[in-house]
Amino acid sequence: MFYSPSLNIFVNPALKDDYINANSWPDDALAVSDDVYNEFAINTPPDGKIRVAGENGLPTWALIPPPSHEELIQQAESERQLLLNQANEYMNSKQWPGKAAIGRLK
């Protein structure tokens, strides 16, 4: 198996001709052992870690970076919209009697 540090992906050497024909074989692809491939592509990452390219060009685990300000805003807006939708669904599921329905309108 090969690993591209610039793309942070593994590529299968059996498909190298296909990659080359598609002009997508990474120029920096490095041969890696099956153990490296299994650890970083097959196995579940350790809690709180993501795969990144190390200084030596091989994959390594790094801490997941905290969300950006924009991501936090988007998460809050998504949660707000979800709560609004849930509240609307609840209110719409109830048959709240209006004044006309209970005979209070003249």
Residue-number span of the structural domain to which 85 is assigned = 66-106
Residue 68 backbone dihedrals phi, psi, to 5 degrees: -75, 170
Question: 22 and 48 share a domain?
Answer: yes
Question: 59 and 8 share a domain?
Answer: yes
Closest to 57 (Cα-Cα) out of 92, 18, 30, 76: 30
pLDDT at residue 47 above 80?
Answer: yes
Question: 15 and 56 share a domain?
Answer: yes
pTM for the structure as a whole = 0.66
Percentage of residues in the chain with pLDDT exceeding 90?
82
| Each residue's pLDDT tens digit, 26-43 | 999 999 999 999 999 999
Question: 10 and 56 share a domain?
Answer: yes
Could you tell me where the DSSP H helices lie in the chain?
16-21, 34-37, 69-93
Number of domains the chain contains: 2
